[in-house]
Homo-oligomer: A and B are copies of this chain.
Amino acid sequence: MAFIASRIVSALAPKKSGATLRDMTTREKPAAGPLTIAEIAQQAGVSIATVSKVVNGKSEVSPDTRALVEGVISQHGYRRQKKRTQTTSLIELVFHELEGAYAMEIIKGVEQVASQHDLAVVLSQAQSRQSPGRGWIEGVLARRPVGVIGVFEGLDDAQQRQLHHRGIPLVLMDPTGEPVHDLPSVGASNWSGGLAATRHLIELGHRRIAAITGPARILSSRARLDGYRAALDAAGLKNDPALVREGDFHVGDGLVHTKALLALADPPTAIFAFNDAQALGVYQAASAAGLRIPDDLSVVGFDDLPSIQWAIPGLTTVRQPLGEMAAAAASMVIAAAGGEVAASNRLILATELVVRASTAKFSPSS
């Protein structure tokens, strides 16, 4: 028992921080190359049947044994038998949190491409599986999908490694966290979007322009913020830290931060909310304060979700082509599954400012 425990600890020992997936598999792989199931079984001191169960995501394996086998695979690699495991006609679409119109746009985009390839889309939330001894990732491995699309913060490093070792391609949508990774991904030009939104407000004469950002750990939010700052710098305007507030992409964040911004001695005349939900929160706060949009306060959002055109007044926002991004991610994962080598590992689609009725010329009387 103590023997097994020590091997688990060794197998689970933390990797050098900052190492990328490619680093790991290259650097730590012994010259002999990846192991067969039989070799993994020998290394781990378990039966071949047990390794097979872990590799194929079956449930009858204890968490300790599973971690032990995964550790050996992670360290040495796993060489699949020549006879390729039959894949089902499924694409996995994994969300960190399944919520809202943002997720629906992505689902539709993936579904469109998947159905053209006679593939069905399996939806899941990476954190939702609760059954002991068999997590979400084991379910994925058991289903043997053509590939996996992870949205936002969908998969952790260990899960990414598990897919990699089974030869299941993974593409990330709008990835966050560590920028230096080898995984194929699809994103939008967030920096340009942030620049365009802010420049639009500057051109309307606004000088006190606030930003309600997303969480600092989310890179797409950071890119929008950098675009916002670049536009201010280019116009020779001061970057006032009091006008930048960090939200969590929910309506309530827009509401709370707008209330605080309006209470400043020198309040903003325009607010750039880093997603449409937060822009709706700005609307709420403006309404509560008796301010008219756009007469008293200009508002710009980000995403251009379908329903936002029906806000009153219609929201000026930066369109992020979520459906196209999702479709591109699906195409990339299907191509990778077919053995195609992508020309580029990182696809960036353009954002576009959509001007509606929530922004107006700054008038000193307001």
Interface residues on A, range: 35 or more
Contact of B107 with A123 in the complex, beta carbons under 8 Å: yes
Contacts of A59 in B (CB 8 A): 118
A251 to B308, CA, bound (A): 12
Contact of B98 with A115 in the complex, beta carbons under 8 Å: no
Copies of this protein in the complex = 2
Which of A98, A103, A115, A128 has its CB near the most chain B CB atoms (within 10 A)? A115
Contact of A101 with B104 in the complex, beta carbons under 8 Å: yes
A100 to B105, CA, bound (A): 9
Contact of B122 with A120 in the complex, beta carbons under 8 Å: yes
Contacts of A103 in B (CB 8 A): 104
Flag whether A89 is at the interface (Cβ < 8 A).
yes
A101 to B103, CA, bound (A): 10
Flag whether A238 is at the interface (Cβ < 8 A).
no
Contact of B98 with A107 in the complex, beta carbons under 8 Å: yes
Contact of B118 with A310 in the complex, beta carbons under 8 Å: no
Contacts of A115 in B (CB 8 A): 124-125, 128-130
Contact of A120 with B124 in the complex, beta carbons under 8 Å: yes
User: Chain B nearest CB: distance from A186 CB in Å?
Assistant: 20
Instruction: State which of B116, B122, B129, B312 has its C-beta within 8 Å of the C-beta of A90.
Output: B122
Task: Name which residue of chain B comes closest to A124, CB basis.
Answer: B120
Within A255-291, which residues are at the interface with B (CB < 8 Å)? 280-281, 283-284, 287
Flag whether A21 is at the interface (Cβ < 8 A).
no
Contact of A143 with B111 in the complex, beta carbons under 8 Å: no
Q: A115-B129, A131-B118 are in contact. Are A89 and B142 (CB under 8 A)?
A: yes
User: Chain B nearest CB: distance from A147 CB in Å?
Assistant: 15
A134 to B130, CA, bound (A): 36
Flag whether A88 is at the interface (Cβ < 8 A).
yes
Q: Mind listing 8 A-B residue pairs with CB under 8 Å?
A: A90-B143, A98-B111, A104-B104, A107-B107, A112-B128, A115-B129, A120-B143, A281-B310
